[in-house]
Structure 1
């Protein structure tokens, strides 16, 4: 009789082949991104990767999320917030945030959604502060972040039109947040086995859980928003799956992403997980391919991430 460890390994090895039929819809529009990811993204500049490198990789992503939510809710960057959050890491020079001309924060009309957005912005700022403090002098400064051209490029690639402003209205805000949250969950899940310190692993697991709360809330609200928002989420998921696959050799046969919608059985697809109900895991190369929009720095990080993994 096989022991539990062997069984778990076998299930993990087979789960991509056992994906449910609901996943097939995610291939729609994915081919549009083929030209954006021509080669695999390097995991790092160095062959030696330690816990600080992995945490700094996460810190780059937290800078992105914290800036997005704080700008959406308060209209300022995190270093200009009423309770400023440092973006210089251990003392480096921080990059800038590119915004559309005449930028304005989201004009929320739904109190519950505004409350959620404010809470999420606070928690993402706390993630930045926590990781920066944990890393101390090793913490990287915020790289250049683009929250304008990035969304336009991904919107065109995903088949959502030539431009997309995530701050224009509540639905756009949900879709913009949808892009980040699922990537954050899969990034932390992928990084967990790479951490050697149990203390860091526990902290990363705690952040992953919060990111999963965020993702679940966003996906639930997209589902409630109706078929148009659901369809847009499916195109975004297909785009992410295509970019993620392009960073793997050989490319996987099935996508690692599920948009929000409904299965033929009548069940919702609010949870982004495989056929074993296990959330997807992405390597640093796969995450970079999504946030770069391909194999080279670009989209959300036009100059690349700071740190070893970039």
Structure 2
């Protein structure tokens, strides 16, 4: 089968769901144009209700950066971050699992090394910005145990059956799917947190990290898309992961995989106005805790995150 025939097959199998989502996004886009003031007041109300500080928001982000940095560091280097980059307030936890990937595609290996360097730099940058207020790394699960976070996430998405494990370090493709779980969530987390920051310097810093996370997400999505032309199951897997994330965070179907929409690719997941959506801190925790309810821990953070923002949102 030629690349063109493969693409046509992918288009045919994914068209119905993608067209439905595009129609929904157009509806949401029209609402957004009319309701910018309402959205702003909603964010302001959330900030007032939570009475969160800029340090709380940055520490929340630091927990997520610990997770990403450890995953990429192990995948690329075979070891995690040094202990000097993990200390701080709250209970410091260990990393479960993680190992080096034997990359067979040199392009994927190069991408992985670049992303790892960026994520480690994010950890160090946020720790420096927070100073003595920085939280320590909480316990993190990036292992391959059948009962672990990656396997649980993969089962929720229908990628593996009950009792089976998912190993993101086994192949280039598995690594990319593991990265796909994180990167889109990171982008939407920074988008959602930006309106809650009061300090201009912190807002600019968050915007800078948001841009980098978006680049990372685009790299992962583009690479999966390219490989998906030869192995359409990869594109289907991103749709299943996207659906699982949507099921966990809130009732709105705004998450997107990489299946083409009509005759165009879907590397950049945006609404009808070309804007990326944001997630609340609670929505983000729903996904990383792998739980759609209001809980203080689970999934990739078995003992919860450190700081003042720790509970997910009841869906």
Q: Which residue of 2 aligns with 1:170?
A: 172
Residue of structure 1 in register with 2:149 after alignment: 150
Q: CA deviation at 1:279?
A: 0.5
After TM superposition, give the deviation of residue 48 of structure 1 in Å: 2.0
1:159-238 to 2 correspondence within 5 Å? 159-161=158-160, 162-226=164-228, 227-238=232-243
Find the counterpart in structure 2 of residue 302 from structure 1.
Answer: 302
Cα deviation digits, residues 252-305 of structure 1 (max 9, x gap): 3xx121101112x21111111122211110000100100001132111001000
Higher-helix-fraction structure: 2
In structure 2, the residue corresponding to 1:257 is in which secondary structure? coil
Tell me if structure 2 keeps the 8 A contact 1:20–1:275.
Answer: no
The alignment's TM-score, normalised by the length of structure 1, stands at: 0.79
Partner of 2:281: 284
Q: Is the 8 Å Cα contact of residues 234 and 258 (structure 1) preserved in structure 2?
A: yes
- Work out the CA distance in 2 between the residues paired with 1:190 and 1:302: 24
The separation in 2 between residues aligned to 1:152 and 1:231, in whole angstroms, is 17
CA distance in 2, matches of 1:121, 1:22: 36
Alpha-carbon distance between aligned partners in 1 of 2:209 and 2:99, rounded to the nearest angstrom: 29
The residue aligned with 1:273 is 270
What aligned pairs does 1:21-100 form with structure 2 within 5 A after superposition? 21=19, 23=21, 47-79=50-82, 86-89=85-88, 93-99=91-97
* Corresponding residue of 1:243: 248
**Structure 2 unaligned regions, length at least 5:** 1-16, 25-45, 311-315
Superposed CA RMSD in Å reads: 2.1
| d(CA) in 1 for partners of 2:175, 2:118 | 17
Superposition misfits of 4+ residues, deviation over 6 angstroms: none
Residues 25 and 234 in structure 1, CA contact (< 8 A), matched pair in contact too:
no
SS at match of 2:82: helix
Structure 1 residues without counterparts, runs of 5 or longer: 1-18, 27-42, 246-250
Shift of 1:23: 2.3
User: Within 2, Cα distance between the matches of 1:260 and 1:98?
Assistant: 30
